[in-house]
Amino acid sequence: MSLPPLVEPADELTVDEVRRYSRHLIIPDVGMAGQKRLKNAKVLCVGAGGLGSPALMYLAAAGVGTLGIIDFDVVDESNLQRQIIHGQSDVGRLKAESAAASVREINPLVEVVIHNTALTTENVMEIFSGYDLIVDGTDNFATRYMVNDAAVLLGKPYVWGSIYRFDGQASVFWAEHGPCYRCLYPEPPPPGMVPSCAEGGVLGVLCASIGSIQVNEAIKLLTGIGDPLVGRLMIYDALEMKYRDVKVRKDPECVLCGKNPTVTELLDDYEAFCGAISDEAAEAASGSTITALELKGMMDRGENIFVVDVREPNEYEIVSIPGATLIPKGEFLNGSALEKLPQDKKIVLHCKSGARSAEALAVVKSAGFSDAVHVGGGVLSWVKTVDPSLPSY
Residues carrying an active site annotation: 197, 351
Burial class (CB in 10 A: 0-12, 13-18, 19+), 260: exposed
Q: How far apart are CA 177 and CA 188, in angstroms?
A: 23
The string of DSSP codes covering 88-148 is: GGGTTSBHHHHHHHHHHHH-TTSEEEEE-S---TTTHHHHHTT-SEEEE---SHHHHHHHH
- C-alpha closest to that of 41 among 11, 71, 3, 7: 7
Backbone angles phi, psi at 94, to 5 degrees: -60, 130
**What is the β-pairing status of strands 232-237 and 242-247?**
antiparallel
Q: How far apart are CA 168 and CA 218, in angstroms?
A: 17
Q: How far apart are CA 245 and CA 170, in angstroms?
A: 9
Q: How far apart are CA 210 and CA 242, in angstroms?
A: 13
Helix (H) or strand (E) holding 177: none
Q: How far apart are CA 193 and CA 191, in angstroms?
A: 6
Q: How far apart are CA 277 and CA 192, in angstroms?
A: 7
Q: How far apart are CA 275 and CA 269, in angstroms?
A: 10
Backbone angles phi, psi at 180, to 5 degrees: -110, 180
Q: How far apart are CA 166 and CA 164, in angstroms?
A: 6
